[in-house]
Amino acid sequence: MALGHEAVGIVVEVGNGVGDISVGDHVVLTFVPSCGICAECNSGSPTFCSGVAVANGEGRTLSGGSRLHDGGTDIHHQLGVSAFSQYAVVDRGSTVVIDDDIPMEVGAMLGCGVLTGVGSRSSDSTPARVR
């Protein structure tokens, strides 16, 4: 498994079918991805995306499979992020575009530290929207 579940970066390549994110965008990588098409995502609760627990538990990306390989062997993703590297290959649902003027060291805090801390301090059951 390639580790690393909290990161920020700049998009250097976009996969087929991804039209709402561009090369050069600054993104936070999130270990709580959302597919955007399941019942939970469509009812305004993307943090309860039904595919996340399965994908993260299986060590794959939200859209399926591994994007990391060692020769012919698939390498598991840690929570869909695997960011302990110079480059990461992630599902679109694992990215949140941020403003370019947010310092990288601040953006890096958003993927886990702030997400976990703010979530644990929420006083109601309504999840925060990240898109």
Binding residues vs Zn ion (CB under 5 A):
6, 34-35, 38, 41, 49, 112
Minimal distance, residue 11 CB to Zn ion, in Å: 21
Tally of CA atoms within 13 A in the half-sphere of 77 that contains its CB: 30
Minimal distance, residue 10 CB to Zn ion, in Å: 21
Q: Which is nearer to Zn ion, 22 or 42 (CB)?
A: 42
Integer angstrom CA distances of residue 120 from 15, 44, 115, 125, 126: 33, 19, 8, 11, 12
Dist CA 37 CA 23 (whole Å): 24
Q: Which is nearer to Zn ion, 35 or 96 (CB)?
A: 35
Q: Which is nearer to Zn ion, 74 or 84 (CB)?
A: 84
Minimal distance, residue 91 CB to Zn ion, in Å: 11
> Could you tell me which residues are beta bridge partners of residue 10?
26
Count of CB atoms within 10 A of residue 79's CB?
24
Q: Which is nearer to Zn ion, 74 or 131 (CB)?
A: 131
Minimal distance, residue 89 CB to Zn ion, in Å: 20
